[in-house]
A and B are shown apart, each in its own frame.
Chain A
């Protein structure tokens, strides 16, 4: 455990502060047209919570009990969130590629 980079709560607060500023400045520049894809993309990212479930499932000495089952369900549902969110975002963003669509409409 000695050689890991663990976080102290203070580090956490600095990360939150800096990321909030960076996040806001990035997202502010996103045009309104892209707000729906942006929302669904960020929704997919929030599924990163499955990392927590992964850590729980990898704890040493963990057997098969109720906890494992709940964690496993959590990871499963979280991964549906992640994958589904990215697929939906991709479907929406694909529509903004103008050239490909034009060909479909050559009546």
Chain B
């Protein structure tokens, strides 16, 4: 049994490795994900096999309970994951991440409260840290979930101070519990640790500005990885350490890459000013704006050869991806080239916009990344900015006082003409004015993204 179990663990490890490797290939990625699922199932079954053979007097009732829990959890997880639209993926990822954190926190808590099992200082340190990180990840992910859904937009004064204070208290509590354990106050202190971990998570997540949310999710994802590693050391499970390190590595790499794409640093994300000083009046105060209509845009389209669409989250919200695809077919039939230029952080997460366009059936070759897109834009006749704002904000290049200064943007102004499709002049996620709207070649189309494309299409087909 033990041998079978260990072979199983080996197979699960191999399966995880292969799965991750194949996940890098867009066409085979589904199979990669399938391998990860197989690895997970094999890992759990093997652990149960090993555990049941080394421990005598194992309780089969509990085995039934475990399988019951796994099945119920799978059903709930499936229900949740299909209950959200693809536009809400980032929220979903942070919600599930929160679940993972909570599970780790609870499991660590059980270990901490079981005095009989905690034998050495290393184990108790690991358990206390996993309680802290687990509950922190839970509350932080939950706040991220709410913030992404626009349900939580509170600015708390002195947020940073509260964050630091709750962190210091949590660390102190861990030290007290480690070095001066007292049977009478132990439960109380652990309770306090949980409370302050939760509080710290709230302030930690709340301190991150809206635009930096993807970075926060990635960091939280990395944190659950670290959690898994330390729990793996405690439970002496190689597969837990291994998968935890993978998750941690993903978190680190994605965080670094995203910081690069947004020209920010992790320090800036957490210590930077969270309050946007610009009032809403100032952010929507434009002097010269040229307005256009779907009819005019359609007329313009018939006269050009190369067209670019810069999609943003607004396009996803309006569910206009499929219409984009129709527009593309229509233009291609008229011998007009249409490409999509996607900013690395368009949408709410890197690659989020790509998923949505792929869903609508737009091929890879027609989706350009930032560098290629900016080259292509200099030979473009007409550029449609649909539902994007901050990623085309020229203040990032010209205004050194701007909060997004230095962020690479899609250089839409290089195109001979820019049409910005936007419902109103409301600022984007960064909450600042966009000088592109006043650019000499820019025209505004104040219509909902879906309606705009629909009307342009109708005009083109006439």
Contact = CB atoms under 8 A, between A and B. Distances in A.
Nearest to B242: A19
Contact of B235 (A34, A47, A51, A93): A51
A71 B352 contact: no
Interface residues of B, number: 121
Nearest to A23: B249
B428 to A, nearest CB: 20
B107 interface: yes
A81 to B, nearest CB: 4
Nearest to A105: B361
B247 A42 contact: yes
Interface string B115-151: 0010000100000000000000000000000000000
Interface stretch (B204-212, B222-230, B437-445): B222-230
Interface residue SS majority, chain B: helix
B217 to A, nearest CB: 7
Interface string A32-65: 1111111111111111111111111111111000
A73 to B, nearest CB: 6
Given A71-B110, A76-B73, A58 B33 contact: no
A60 B56 contact: yes
A78 to B, nearest CB: 3
Contacts of A33: 26, 351, 354-355, 358, 364, 367
Nearest to B78: A87
A58 B66 contact: yes
B275 to A, nearest CB: 28
B341 interface: no
Contact of A72 (B51, B69, B224, B354): B69
Nearest to A86: B37
Contacts of A9: 122, 233
Given A67-B110, A80-B96, A90-B33, A46 B245 contact: no
B57 A39 contact: no
Q: From A4, A73, A86, name the one whose CB has the most chain B CB atoms within 10 angstroms.
A: A86
A54 B54 CA distance: 14
Given A26-B20, A29-B24, A58-B66, A98 B361 contact: yes
Contacts of A19: 241-242, 245-246, 249
A79 B77 contact: yes
A75 B159 CA distance: 33
B317 interface: no
A34 B100 contact: no
A42 B251 contact: yes
B326 to A, nearest CB: 7
Contacts of A71: 106-107, 110
Interface in B17-57: 17, 20-21, 23-24, 26-27, 29-30, 32-34, 36-37, 40, 43-44, 47-48, 50-52, 54-57
Q: From A26, A48, A53, A54, name the one whose CB has the most chain B CB atoms within 10 angstroms.
A: A48
Given A58-B63, A74-B103, A105-B325, A86 B33 contact: yes
Interface in A84-107: 84-98, 101-102, 104-105, 107
A53 B103 contact: yes
A92 B89 contact: yes
Contacts of B40: 44-45, 47-48, 82, 86
Contacts of B239: 48, 51
Interface string B317-341: 0000010011001000000000000
Contacts of B329: 105, 107
B243 interface: yes
B6 interface: yes
Interface in B157-179: none
B354 to A, nearest CB: 4
A87 B249 contact: no
A52 B231 contact: yes
Nearest to A49: B104
Q: From B32, B52, B81, B358, name the one whose CB has the most chain A CB atoms within 10 angstroms.
A: B81
Contacts of B74: 79-80, 82-83
A14 B361 CA distance: 45
B369 A27 contact: no
B279 interface: no
B359 A95 contact: yes
Given A51-B47, A60-B55, 4 more contacts: A37-B33, A43-B96, A45-B16, A48-B243
25 contacts: A15-B245, A16-B241, A19-B249, A23-B20, A27-B20, A30-B24, A39-B221, A47-B40, A49-B100, A50-B107, A52-B104, A52-B107, A52-B234, A55-B237, A57-B65, A58-B48, A59-B55, A59-B117, A60-B57, A62-B59, A77-B99, A77-B103, A80-B76, A84-B96, A89-B33
Top 6 closest pairs, chain A to chain B, by CB = A79-B73, A83-B77, A84-B77, A78-B103, A23-B249, A74-B106
